[in-house]
Amino acid sequence: MFNARTDAFSVAVPASSANLGSGFDAVGLALDLWVRATVQPSLEFSIAFKAGRYVPTNAGFENEILRGFDRIMHGVRPNVSLTIANDIPLGKGLGASAAGGVLGLTVGAQFATPRPSELDLARLACELEGHPDNALPALLGGIVVAAMPENAPPVFLRFEAPARLRVVVVVPHIVLPTAAARALLPAQYERADVVFNLQRAALLAAALATGNLDALRTASGDRIHQPYRAPLVPGFAEMLTFERPGLLALALSGAGPSVIALIEADGESTGTAIQEAFAREGIESDVFHLGISPKGAIVERLGLGVAEDRGLPS
């Protein structure tokens, strides 16, 4: 029988993109871009990062992992080593903090007694992140529409992405901290703007759930957060006007500065157009052509070749 305290295992958690325009703090999807941890017995608890492009330059990402781990383990750290390999750009609106928290929760869940349920992990992930739209796709995969009632676990619907839907993510070489991006938002909104977003958020969820992708261009329209954040993402206003074959919708990924395009065909021209718009503003960027991951957090028992989706009890 698998014993997390004596047997090595790995955990993988996907990146995510939240909001998708109108679905502010409510709609998100998992991206096929991962952070992975190898967990092995050791003389003492330790955490280290493998060399690579997205190794953290400060303690922020490590702290998110440890927050998740300690939330499950109540501060007790077993004698294991965590070796982290990260492919998710950090601080770019791709849910890195949520992925780190879910990674820590999932690793910790392997040691916890009793093992937490899916709803337990969902609640803890949302508490750590403060909102559900990155946390739940990281944990569960696919597309998630969620709400957070007061003093109660999140209520959510998770469903598979339409088969022909893919994404292009363009990551500019600029920094836009989430806290700073949230600070730009007004405390109050005009009723017309609230109605505008309510209509489109409902349409966004329905379009993604039913596969009626032609509605996504209208459904992704937003007056709640993107108009206030756009000035800090040079070229974004121009990008919103793009018309390209197969381009269904375009939005800030999370709080930005990354830009996500929902597509149903070859996204090469869309990615190039977004990258060129950034270049006209003197900003270099990287393009990722990604699928929507049907899997969230995954646990694999090393040497046994057995994987458990979401790291949850079978």
pLDDT tens digits, 206-255: 999 999 999 999 999 999 999 999 999 999 999 999 998 899 999 999 99
pLDDT given for residue 312 in this prediction: 45
Mean local confidence (pLDDT), 255-281: 94
> Please, which pLDDT band fits residue 288 given cuts at 50, 70 and 90?
very high
Instruction: State which fold the 9-160+293-309 domain adopts.
Output: Ribosomal Protein S5; domain 2 (3.30.230)
Mean local confidence (pLDDT), 43-62: 93
pLDDT given for residue 4 in this prediction: 75
What residues does each domain of the chain span? 9-160+293-309, 166-290
CATH 3.40.50.12780 fits 166-290, yes or no: no
> Please, which pLDDT band fits residue 37 given cuts at 50, 70 and 90?
very high
Please check the confidence at residue 158 and state whether its pLDDT lies above 80. yes
Percent of the chain whose predicted confidence (pLDDT) is above 90: 87
> For residue 6, which of 80, 62, 88, 63 has the smallest C-alpha distance?
80
pLDDT given for residue 311 in this prediction: 45
Please check the confidence at residue 314 and state whether its pLDDT lies above 50. no
Mean local confidence (pLDDT), 95-122: 96
pLDDT given for residue 2 in this prediction: 66
> Please, which pLDDT band fits residue 181 given cuts at 50, 70 and 90?
confident
